[in-house]
A and B are shown apart, each in its own frame.
Chain A
Protein backbone atom coordinates (compact mmCIF):
# COMPACT_ATOMS: atom_id res chain seq x y z
CA UNK A 1 0.00 0.00 0.00
CA UNK A 2 1.49 3.29 -1.01
CA UNK A 3 0.10 6.69 -0.11
CA UNK A 4 0.72 9.69 -2.34
CA UNK A 5 2.06 12.67 -0.38
CA UNK A 6 0.41 15.93 -1.36
CA UNK A 7 2.44 19.12 -1.33
CA UNK A 8 1.55 21.58 1.41
CA UNK A 9 0.30 25.01 0.28
CA UNK A 10 3.11 27.52 -0.18
CA UNK A 11 1.61 29.98 2.28
CA UNK A 12 1.55 27.27 4.94
CA UNK A 13 5.18 26.40 4.30
CA UNK A 14 6.24 30.03 4.57
CA UNK A 15 4.17 30.50 7.73
CA UNK A 16 5.72 27.45 9.37
CA UNK A 17 9.23 28.58 8.48
CA UNK A 18 8.59 32.11 9.75
CA UNK A 19 7.12 30.75 13.00
CA UNK A 20 10.06 28.40 13.43
CA UNK A 21 12.45 31.29 12.82
CA UNK A 22 10.67 33.40 15.44
CA UNK A 23 10.77 30.57 17.97
CA UNK A 24 14.46 29.79 17.38
CA UNK A 25 15.43 33.49 17.51
CA UNK A 26 13.49 33.92 20.76
CA UNK A 27 15.23 30.92 22.30
CA UNK A 28 18.61 32.25 21.17
CA UNK A 29 17.75 35.72 22.49
CA UNK A 30 16.74 34.24 25.84
CA UNK A 31 20.01 32.38 26.28
CA UNK A 32 22.24 35.05 24.71
CA UNK A 33 20.69 38.18 26.23
CA UNK A 34 17.89 37.76 28.70
CA UNK A 35 19.52 35.29 31.05
CA UNK A 36 22.64 37.47 31.21
CA UNK A 37 20.68 40.64 31.87
CA UNK A 38 18.37 39.04 34.41
CA UNK A 39 21.18 37.07 35.96
CA UNK A 40 19.56 33.67 35.42
CA UNK A 41 22.06 30.82 35.32
CA UNK A 42 24.92 33.22 34.71
CA UNK A 43 28.13 32.20 33.03
CA UNK A 44 30.04 30.23 35.68
CA UNK A 45 33.10 32.30 34.82
CA UNK A 46 31.27 35.49 35.80
CA UNK A 47 29.92 35.05 39.28
CA UNK A 48 29.60 37.31 42.25
CA UNK A 49 32.48 35.46 43.88
CA UNK A 50 35.82 36.57 42.45
CA UNK A 51 38.13 33.92 41.04
CA UNK A 52 40.94 35.47 43.06
CA UNK A 53 41.64 38.66 44.92
CA UNK A 54 44.71 40.77 44.28
CA UNK A 55 45.41 43.05 47.18
CA UNK A 56 47.32 46.28 47.16
CA UNK A 57 51.04 45.68 47.54
CA UNK A 58 52.81 47.65 50.24
CA UNK A 59 54.49 50.82 49.12
CA UNK A 60 58.11 50.39 48.29
CA UNK A 61 60.67 51.78 50.67
CA UNK A 62 64.25 52.68 49.87
CA UNK A 63 65.48 49.36 51.27
CA UNK A 64 62.82 47.23 49.62
CA UNK A 65 63.03 46.54 45.93
CA UNK A 66 60.54 43.67 45.81
CA UNK A 67 57.33 45.64 45.70
CA UNK A 68 55.81 47.83 43.09
CA UNK A 69 55.56 51.31 44.33
CA UNK A 70 58.21 53.81 43.41
CA UNK A 71 60.12 54.98 46.46
CA UNK A 72 59.69 58.57 47.43
CA UNK A 73 63.20 59.81 47.06
CA UNK A 74 63.03 63.55 47.34
CA UNK A 75 66.65 64.63 47.09
CA UNK A 76 67.96 66.71 49.95
CA UNK A 77 68.05 70.35 48.82
CA UNK A 78 71.24 71.19 47.00
CA UNK A 79 72.84 67.76 47.11
CA UNK A 80 72.67 67.15 43.37
CA UNK A 81 73.48 70.67 42.28
CA UNK A 82 76.76 71.50 40.58
CA UNK A 83 78.58 74.42 42.25
CA UNK A 84 78.23 77.62 40.27
CA UNK A 85 81.36 78.63 38.39
CA UNK A 86 82.41 81.53 36.24
CA UNK A 87 83.67 81.11 32.68
CA UNK A 88 87.16 79.92 33.80
CA UNK A 89 85.83 77.35 36.26
CA UNK A 90 86.39 79.36 39.46
CA UNK A 91 83.63 79.17 42.02
CA UNK A 92 81.38 82.18 42.02
CA UNK A 93 80.46 83.64 45.35
CA UNK A 94 76.86 84.66 45.25
CA UNK A 95 75.04 86.86 47.64
CA UNK A 96 73.03 84.77 50.04
CA UNK A 97 69.35 85.33 49.37
CA UNK A 98 67.18 85.13 52.44
CA UNK A 99 65.14 81.95 52.39
CA UNK A 100 61.45 82.34 51.63
CA UNK A 101 59.44 79.90 53.64
CA UNK A 102 56.96 78.23 51.30
CA UNK A 103 54.03 76.31 52.72
CA UNK A 104 54.92 72.63 52.85
CA UNK A 105 52.75 70.54 50.55
CA UNK A 106 51.22 67.34 51.80
CA UNK A 107 52.89 64.59 49.78
CA UNK A 108 51.21 61.71 51.58
CA UNK A 109 49.38 58.90 49.82
CA UNK A 110 50.22 56.90 46.73
CA UNK A 111 50.54 59.83 44.38
CA UNK A 112 50.68 62.80 46.74
CA UNK A 113 54.36 63.30 45.90
CA UNK A 114 53.45 63.59 42.20
CA UNK A 115 50.46 65.90 42.37
CA UNK A 116 50.66 67.55 45.79
CA UNK A 117 49.79 70.98 44.43
CA UNK A 118 46.51 69.70 42.98
CA UNK A 119 44.97 68.72 46.30
CA UNK A 120 43.60 70.74 49.19
CA UNK A 121 46.11 70.64 52.02
CA UNK A 122 43.74 70.45 54.95
CA UNK A 123 42.26 67.06 55.80
CA UNK A 124 38.62 68.15 55.67
CA UNK A 125 39.05 71.02 53.25
CA UNK A 126 36.84 71.00 50.14
CA UNK A 127 36.84 73.60 47.39
CA UNK A 128 34.24 73.20 44.70
CA UNK A 129 32.78 75.12 41.82
CA UNK A 130 30.49 74.31 38.95
CA UNK A 131 33.20 72.56 37.02
CA UNK A 132 35.74 71.52 39.62
CA UNK A 133 36.08 69.73 42.91
CA UNK A 134 39.15 69.79 45.10
CA UNK A 135 39.66 67.98 48.36
CA UNK A 136 42.57 66.48 50.28
CA UNK A 137 42.40 63.30 48.16
CA UNK A 138 40.67 64.18 44.91
CA UNK A 139 40.86 66.82 42.23
CA UNK A 140 38.33 66.79 39.39
CA UNK A 141 37.91 69.36 36.65
CA UNK A 142 35.05 68.75 34.26
CA UNK A 143 35.16 70.48 30.90
CA UNK A 144 31.82 70.58 29.11
CA UNK A 145 32.14 70.99 25.36
CA UNK A 146 29.28 71.68 22.98
CA UNK A 147 30.64 72.40 19.54
CA UNK A 148 30.30 71.92 15.81
CA UNK A 149 32.73 69.48 14.26
CA UNK A 150 33.26 68.14 10.76
CA UNK A 151 33.72 64.39 10.94
CA UNK A 152 33.23 61.22 8.95
CA UNK A 153 29.92 59.62 9.87
CA UNK A 154 31.07 56.08 9.03
CA UNK A 155 34.39 54.39 8.51
CA UNK A 156 33.67 53.86 4.83
CA UNK A 157 32.63 57.47 4.29
CA UNK A 158 34.85 59.77 2.28
CA UNK A 159 32.94 63.00 2.89
CA UNK A 160 32.98 64.69 6.28
CA UNK A 161 29.69 66.05 7.52
CA UNK A 162 28.98 68.88 9.92
CA UNK A 163 27.97 67.51 13.31
CA UNK A 164 27.16 68.84 16.72
CA UNK A 165 29.29 67.25 19.41
CA UNK A 166 28.57 67.42 23.09
CA UNK A 167 30.96 65.83 25.57
CA UNK A 168 32.33 66.04 29.08
CA UNK A 169 36.02 65.58 29.78
CA UNK A 170 37.02 65.02 33.39
CA UNK A 171 40.63 65.69 34.34
CA UNK A 172 41.19 63.65 37.47
CA UNK A 173 43.93 63.53 40.10
CA UNK A 174 43.74 61.13 43.02
CA UNK A 175 45.97 60.93 46.06
CA UNK A 176 45.40 57.20 46.49
CA UNK A 177 44.45 54.63 43.89
CA UNK A 178 41.41 53.69 46.01
CA UNK A 179 39.92 57.08 45.10
CA UNK A 180 39.63 55.75 41.55
CA UNK A 181 37.42 52.71 41.89
CA UNK A 182 34.61 50.76 40.30
CA UNK A 183 31.15 49.74 41.42
CA UNK A 184 29.88 46.56 39.80
CA UNK A 185 27.37 43.76 39.86
CA UNK A 186 28.82 40.51 38.55
CA UNK A 187 26.31 38.20 36.93
CA UNK A 188 23.35 40.56 36.88
CA UNK A 189 23.02 44.03 35.45
CA UNK A 190 21.71 46.90 37.55
CA UNK A 191 20.62 50.44 36.88
CA UNK A 192 23.21 53.20 36.98
CA UNK A 193 21.56 54.63 40.11
CA UNK A 194 21.79 51.30 41.90
CA UNK A 195 25.47 50.97 41.06
CA UNK A 196 26.17 54.57 42.09
CA UNK A 197 24.23 54.35 45.33
CA UNK A 198 26.39 54.27 48.44
CA UNK A 199 29.68 54.66 46.61
CA UNK A 200 30.21 58.32 47.46
CA UNK A 201 31.33 58.87 43.88
CA UNK A 202 31.74 62.46 42.72
CA UNK A 203 32.26 61.61 39.09
CA UNK A 204 31.20 58.38 37.39
CA UNK A 205 30.80 56.91 33.95
CA UNK A 206 29.78 53.50 32.64
CA UNK A 207 32.39 50.75 32.27
CA UNK A 208 32.62 47.84 29.85
CA UNK A 209 29.26 46.19 30.72
CA UNK A 210 30.91 42.82 31.17
CA UNK A 211 27.77 40.80 31.93
CA UNK A 212 26.59 41.16 28.35
CA UNK A 213 28.27 39.40 25.43
CA UNK A 214 30.45 37.52 27.89
CA UNK A 215 32.25 35.52 25.25
CA UNK A 216 34.02 38.66 24.11
CA UNK A 217 34.78 39.88 27.63
CA UNK A 218 37.74 37.83 28.64
CA UNK A 219 39.50 39.48 31.54
CA UNK A 220 37.52 41.30 34.17
CA UNK A 221 39.07 42.73 37.34
CA UNK A 222 37.30 45.16 39.62
CA UNK A 223 38.95 46.75 42.66
CA UNK A 224 41.45 43.88 42.79
CA UNK A 225 38.75 41.20 42.51
CA UNK A 226 39.45 38.97 39.53
CA UNK A 227 35.98 38.18 38.23
CA UNK A 228 37.16 36.47 35.10
CA UNK A 229 40.55 35.51 33.74
CA UNK A 230 41.55 33.79 30.53
CA UNK A 231 44.66 32.27 29.03
CA UNK A 232 44.08 34.21 25.82
CA UNK A 233 42.00 37.16 24.68
CA UNK A 234 40.34 38.10 21.43
CA UNK A 235 40.30 41.89 21.74
CA UNK A 236 42.29 44.66 23.42
CA UNK A 237 41.99 45.00 27.17
CA UNK A 238 42.89 47.85 29.51
CA UNK A 239 44.60 47.17 32.83
CA UNK A 240 45.05 49.62 35.69
CA UNK A 241 47.57 48.40 38.24
CA UNK A 242 47.63 49.07 41.96
CA UNK A 243 50.69 51.28 41.41
CA UNK A 244 48.56 53.66 39.34
CA UNK A 245 50.01 52.82 35.94
CA UNK A 246 47.70 51.79 33.15
CA UNK A 247 48.33 49.93 29.92
CA UNK A 248 46.29 48.75 27.00
CA UNK A 249 47.10 45.24 25.87
CA UNK A 250 46.44 43.68 22.48
CA UNK A 251 45.74 39.94 22.05
CA UNK A 252 49.29 39.47 20.70
CA UNK A 253 50.86 41.07 23.78
CA UNK A 254 48.60 39.37 26.30
CA UNK A 255 49.96 37.18 29.06
CA UNK A 256 47.93 36.58 32.21
CA UNK A 257 51.04 35.68 34.20
CA UNK A 258 52.69 38.95 33.23
CA UNK A 259 49.62 40.96 34.22
CA UNK A 260 49.15 39.07 37.50
CA UNK A 261 52.80 39.66 38.40
CA UNK A 262 52.27 43.42 38.23
CA UNK A 263 49.30 43.40 40.64
CA UNK A 264 46.30 44.48 38.57
CA UNK A 265 43.66 46.61 40.25
CA UNK A 266 41.16 46.96 37.39
CA UNK A 267 40.88 45.35 33.96
CA UNK A 268 38.32 46.33 31.35
CA UNK A 269 37.46 44.27 28.32
CA UNK A 270 35.83 46.26 25.56
CA UNK A 271 38.17 48.42 23.53
CA UNK A 272 39.81 48.97 21.25
CA UNK A 273 42.85 50.94 22.41
CA UNK A 274 42.79 54.45 20.98
CA UNK A 275 46.36 55.72 21.09
CA UNK A 276 49.71 54.70 19.69
CA UNK A 277 52.62 53.97 22.03
CA UNK A 278 53.82 57.58 21.73
CA UNK A 279 50.42 58.90 22.83
CA UNK A 280 49.34 60.04 19.37
CA UNK A 281 45.83 59.23 18.25
CA UNK A 282 45.36 56.12 16.16
CA UNK A 283 43.71 56.61 12.81
CA UNK A 284 41.16 54.33 11.19
CA UNK A 285 40.78 52.36 14.37
CA UNK A 286 39.62 48.82 13.81
CA UNK A 287 36.14 48.64 15.26
CA UNK A 288 32.68 47.71 14.08
CA UNK A 289 31.27 50.63 16.03
CA UNK A 290 33.58 53.26 14.59
CA UNK A 291 30.68 55.42 13.42
CA UNK A 292 29.18 58.47 15.15
CA UNK A 293 27.95 57.22 18.49
CA UNK A 294 27.53 58.15 22.14
CA UNK A 295 30.78 57.09 23.79
CA UNK A 296 32.70 56.61 26.99
CA UNK A 297 36.47 56.24 27.33
CA UNK A 298 39.20 56.15 29.92
CA UNK A 299 42.58 57.82 29.54
CA UNK A 300 45.84 57.65 31.46
CA UNK A 301 48.32 60.49 31.78
CA UNK A 302 50.55 59.33 34.65
CA UNK A 303 50.06 57.47 37.94
CA UNK A 304 47.27 59.19 39.85
CA UNK A 305 46.29 61.34 36.87
CA UNK A 306 43.48 60.03 34.66
CA UNK A 307 40.96 61.31 32.16
CA UNK A 308 37.39 60.14 31.78
CA UNK A 309 35.46 61.10 28.68
CA UNK A 310 31.74 60.76 28.16
CA UNK A 311 30.23 61.74 24.83
CA UNK A 312 26.54 62.45 24.51
CA UNK A 313 24.75 61.57 21.32
CA UNK A 314 21.26 61.14 22.57
CA UNK A 315 19.22 61.41 19.41
CA UNK A 316 15.88 61.91 21.09
CA UNK A 317 13.19 64.24 19.78
CA UNK A 318 14.99 67.38 20.88
CA UNK A 319 18.35 66.31 19.49
CA UNK A 320 19.84 67.84 22.60
CA UNK A 321 22.66 65.35 22.89
CA UNK A 322 24.25 66.07 19.54
CA UNK A 323 25.44 63.53 17.00
CA UNK A 324 28.09 61.68 18.97
CA UNK A 325 31.69 61.10 17.95
CA UNK A 326 33.44 58.68 15.67
CA UNK A 327 36.28 56.71 17.19
CA UNK A 328 39.13 58.58 15.48
CA UNK A 329 37.86 61.95 16.74
CA UNK A 330 37.50 60.56 20.25
CA UNK A 331 41.09 59.32 20.11
CA UNK A 332 42.24 62.83 19.08
CA UNK A 333 40.43 64.42 22.03
CA UNK A 334 42.10 62.06 24.48
CA UNK A 335 45.49 62.50 22.87
CA UNK A 336 45.09 66.29 23.04
CA UNK A 337 44.20 65.94 26.72
CA UNK A 338 47.70 64.58 27.28
CA UNK A 339 46.81 60.92 27.61
CA UNK A 340 49.51 58.33 27.01
CA UNK A 341 47.02 55.47 26.98
CA UNK A 342 43.32 55.55 26.17
CA UNK A 343 40.68 52.89 25.86
CA UNK A 344 37.17 52.80 24.51
CA UNK A 345 34.42 51.62 26.86
CA UNK A 346 30.86 50.57 26.09
CA UNK A 347 28.94 53.15 24.10
CA UNK A 348 25.48 53.71 22.66
CA UNK A 349 22.62 53.52 25.15
CA UNK A 350 25.01 52.13 27.80
CA UNK A 351 26.62 55.55 28.19
CA UNK A 352 26.17 57.32 31.49
CA UNK A 353 27.91 60.36 32.89
CA UNK A 354 27.50 61.74 36.40
CA UNK A 355 29.12 64.60 38.26
CA UNK A 356 28.45 65.79 41.78
CA UNK A 357 24.74 65.01 42.00
CA UNK A 358 23.90 65.71 38.37
CA UNK A 359 23.46 63.32 35.45
CA UNK A 360 25.50 64.61 32.54
CA UNK A 361 24.51 61.90 30.07
CA UNK A 362 21.82 59.25 30.24
CA UNK A 363 19.33 57.69 27.87
CA UNK A 364 15.63 57.09 27.93
CA UNK A 365 14.75 53.63 29.08
CA UNK A 366 17.89 53.53 31.22
CA UNK A 367 19.62 50.37 30.06
CA UNK A 368 20.90 48.26 32.93
CA UNK A 369 24.67 47.84 33.06
CA UNK A 370 27.16 45.77 35.02
CA UNK A 371 29.66 48.35 36.23
CA UNK A 372 30.64 51.97 36.56
CA UNK A 373 33.96 53.76 37.01
CA UNK A 374 33.93 56.14 39.96
CA UNK A 375 36.08 58.87 41.40
CA UNK A 376 35.38 59.83 44.95
CA UNK A 377 36.44 60.17 48.54
CA UNK A 378 35.27 56.77 49.71
CA UNK A 379 36.80 54.19 47.49
Chain B
Protein backbone atom coordinates (compact mmCIF):
# COMPACT_ATOMS: atom_id res chain seq x y z
CA UNK B 1 0.00 0.00 0.00
CA UNK B 2 2.77 2.41 1.01
CA UNK B 3 4.65 1.52 -2.12
CA UNK B 4 1.57 2.18 -4.27
CA UNK B 5 0.96 5.61 -2.70
CA UNK B 6 4.64 6.48 -3.10
CA UNK B 7 4.48 5.38 -6.72
CA UNK B 8 1.45 7.53 -7.49
CA UNK B 9 3.11 10.46 -5.73
CA UNK B 10 6.26 9.89 -7.77
CA UNK B 11 4.34 9.99 -11.05
CA UNK B 12 2.39 13.08 -10.01
CA UNK B 13 5.65 14.69 -8.92
CA UNK B 14 7.16 14.07 -12.34
CA UNK B 15 4.15 15.52 -14.15
CA UNK B 16 3.87 18.58 -11.90
CA UNK B 17 7.63 19.10 -11.95
CA UNK B 18 7.64 19.13 -15.74
CA UNK B 19 4.81 21.67 -15.65
CA UNK B 20 6.71 23.88 -13.22
CA UNK B 21 9.86 23.64 -15.32
CA UNK B 22 7.85 24.61 -18.41
CA UNK B 23 6.52 27.67 -16.59
CA UNK B 24 9.98 28.52 -15.30
CA UNK B 25 11.41 28.50 -18.82
CA UNK B 26 8.51 30.47 -20.36
CA UNK B 27 8.73 32.96 -17.51
CA UNK B 28 12.39 33.54 -18.35
CA UNK B 29 11.25 34.66 -21.80
CA UNK B 30 8.19 36.64 -20.79
CA UNK B 31 7.57 37.35 -17.11
CA UNK B 32 4.66 39.65 -17.98
CA UNK B 33 2.53 36.56 -18.55
CA UNK B 34 2.96 35.76 -14.85
CA UNK B 35 3.61 32.06 -15.24
CA UNK B 36 5.42 31.78 -11.91
CA UNK B 37 3.87 34.66 -9.99
CA UNK B 38 0.37 33.25 -10.42
CA UNK B 39 -1.94 31.78 -7.80
CA UNK B 40 -2.43 28.63 -9.85
CA UNK B 41 1.31 28.06 -10.11
CA UNK B 42 1.63 28.53 -6.38
CA UNK B 43 -1.12 25.94 -5.88
CA UNK B 44 0.72 23.59 -8.19
CA UNK B 45 3.90 24.19 -6.24
CA UNK B 46 2.08 23.38 -2.99
CA UNK B 47 0.84 20.09 -4.44
CA UNK B 48 4.31 19.25 -5.70
CA UNK B 49 5.72 20.06 -2.27
CA UNK B 50 3.35 17.53 -0.70
CA UNK B 51 4.03 14.73 -3.18
CA UNK B 52 7.77 15.44 -3.01
CA UNK B 53 7.70 15.17 0.77
CA UNK B 54 5.94 11.81 0.48
CA UNK B 55 8.58 10.63 -2.01
CA UNK B 56 11.37 11.94 0.20
CA UNK B 57 9.94 10.18 3.26
CA UNK B 58 9.50 6.95 1.33
CA UNK B 59 13.04 7.12 -0.01
CA UNK B 60 14.53 7.83 3.41
CA UNK B 61 12.45 5.48 5.53
CA UNK B 62 11.97 2.35 3.42
CA UNK B 63 14.59 -0.19 4.17
CA UNK B 64 16.23 -2.53 1.74
CA UNK B 65 17.91 0.05 -0.44
CA UNK B 66 21.42 1.30 -0.05
CA UNK B 67 21.63 4.15 2.45
CA UNK B 68 23.95 6.38 0.37
CA UNK B 69 21.59 6.20 -2.59
CA UNK B 70 18.54 6.90 -0.45
CA UNK B 71 20.24 9.88 1.14
CA UNK B 72 21.54 11.06 -2.23
CA UNK B 73 18.02 11.35 -3.67
CA UNK B 74 15.87 11.74 -0.57
CA UNK B 75 17.69 14.55 1.23
CA UNK B 76 17.86 17.08 -1.67
CA UNK B 77 14.19 16.70 -2.52
CA UNK B 78 13.25 16.86 1.15
CA UNK B 79 15.19 20.08 1.63
CA UNK B 80 13.75 21.59 -1.58
CA UNK B 81 10.22 20.65 -0.51
CA UNK B 82 10.68 22.18 2.94
CA UNK B 83 12.15 25.35 1.39
CA UNK B 84 9.14 25.57 -0.93
CA UNK B 85 6.75 25.10 1.96
CA UNK B 86 8.44 27.91 3.89
CA UNK B 87 8.45 30.15 0.82
CA UNK B 88 4.76 29.55 0.09
CA UNK B 89 3.88 30.23 3.71
CA UNK B 90 5.86 33.49 3.80
CA UNK B 91 4.31 34.57 0.48
CA UNK B 92 0.84 33.80 1.79
CA UNK B 93 1.36 35.66 5.06
CA UNK B 94 3.20 38.66 3.59
CA UNK B 95 1.96 39.15 0.02
CA UNK B 96 3.22 42.74 -0.04
CA UNK B 97 6.77 41.49 -0.65
CA UNK B 98 5.71 39.84 -3.94
CA UNK B 99 8.39 37.21 -3.47
CA UNK B 100 7.72 35.37 -6.70
CA UNK B 101 8.89 38.29 -8.83
CA UNK B 102 12.50 37.82 -7.71
CA UNK B 103 14.70 35.62 -9.87
CA UNK B 104 16.31 34.03 -6.82
CA UNK B 105 12.89 33.06 -5.45
CA UNK B 106 11.71 31.78 -8.82
CA UNK B 107 14.65 29.39 -8.73
CA UNK B 108 13.15 27.55 -5.74
CA UNK B 109 10.25 25.91 -7.64
CA UNK B 110 12.70 25.05 -10.41
CA UNK B 111 15.03 23.46 -7.88
CA UNK B 112 12.17 21.57 -6.30
CA UNK B 113 11.08 20.34 -9.73
CA UNK B 114 14.56 19.09 -10.68
CA UNK B 115 15.21 17.30 -7.37
CA UNK B 116 11.69 15.91 -7.38
CA UNK B 117 12.07 14.44 -10.87
CA UNK B 118 15.35 12.82 -9.86
CA UNK B 119 13.95 11.38 -6.63
CA UNK B 120 10.74 10.22 -8.30
CA UNK B 121 12.60 8.45 -11.08
CA UNK B 122 14.87 6.78 -8.55
CA UNK B 123 11.87 5.72 -6.52
CA UNK B 124 10.04 4.32 -9.56
CA UNK B 125 13.09 2.45 -10.88
CA UNK B 126 13.93 0.91 -7.53
CA UNK B 127 10.33 0.04 -6.85
CA UNK B 128 10.04 -1.69 -10.24
CA UNK B 129 13.19 -3.69 -9.49
CA UNK B 130 11.77 -4.70 -6.10
CA UNK B 131 8.47 -5.73 -7.69
CA UNK B 132 10.24 -7.73 -10.38
CA UNK B 133 12.38 -9.46 -7.77
CA UNK B 134 9.28 -10.33 -5.71
CA UNK B 135 7.39 -11.63 -8.73
CA UNK B 136 10.42 -13.71 -9.80
CA UNK B 137 10.68 -15.21 -6.33
CA UNK B 138 6.98 -16.08 -6.22
Contact = CB atoms under 8 A, between A and B. Distances in A.
Contacts of B29: 288-289
A214 B33 CA distance: 8
The interface size bin for chain A is 20 to 34
A5 B8 CA distance: 14
Contacts of B138: 4
Given A32-B40, A216-B32, A6 B135 contact: yes
A251 B40 contact: no
* Range of interface residues on B (Cβ < 8 Å): 35 or more
B32 A234 contact: no
A13 B28 CA distance: 30
Nearest to B26: A288
B131 A289 contact: no
Nearest to A28: B40
Overall SS of chain A's interface: loop
Contacts of B95: 232
Contact of A215 (B11, B39, B131): B39
B77 interface: no
A233 B95 CA distance: 10
Nearest to A212: B33
Given A25-B22, A251-B98, A288 B31 contact: yes
A7 B132 contact: yes
Given A4-B135, A5-B4, A25-B22, A216 B15 contact: no
A4 B40 CA distance: 39
B122 to A, nearest CB: 14
B34 A214 contact: yes
A213 interface: yes
A20 B16 CA distance: 9
Nearest to B44: A28
B34 A13 contact: no
A230 to B, nearest CB: 10
Contact of B30 (A5, A20, A288): A288
A16 B11 contact: yes
A64 B34 CA distance: 45
A248 to B, nearest CB: 16
A13 B124 contact: yes
A336 interface: no
A32 B38 CA distance: 9
B101 A234 contact: yes
B134 interface: yes
Contacts of A31: 40
A256 interface: no
Interface in A1-50: 4-7, 13, 16-17, 20-21, 24-25, 28, 31-32
A178 interface: no
B62 to A, nearest CB: 15
A88 B125 CA distance: 103
Interface of A: 4-7, 13, 16-17, 20-21, 24-25, 28, 31-32, 212-216, 231-235, 251, 270, 288-289, 346
25 contacts: A5-B131, A7-B128, A7-B131, A7-B132, A7-B135, A17-B14, A17-B15, A20-B12, A20-B15, A21-B15, A24-B19, A25-B22, A32-B33, A32-B40, A213-B32, A213-B34, A214-B34, A215-B34, A216-B33, A216-B34, A216-B37, A216-B101, A233-B98, A234-B98, A288-B28
7 A-B pairs with the lowest CB-CB distances in the bound complex, closest first: A215-B34, A234-B98, A216-B34, A234-B101, A213-B33, A213-B34, A7-B128
Given A215-B34, A232-B96, 13 more contacts: A5-B3, A5-B131, A6-B131, A17-B14, A20-B11, A213-B34, A215-B39, A216-B33, A216-B34, A216-B101, A234-B37, A234-B98, A288-B29
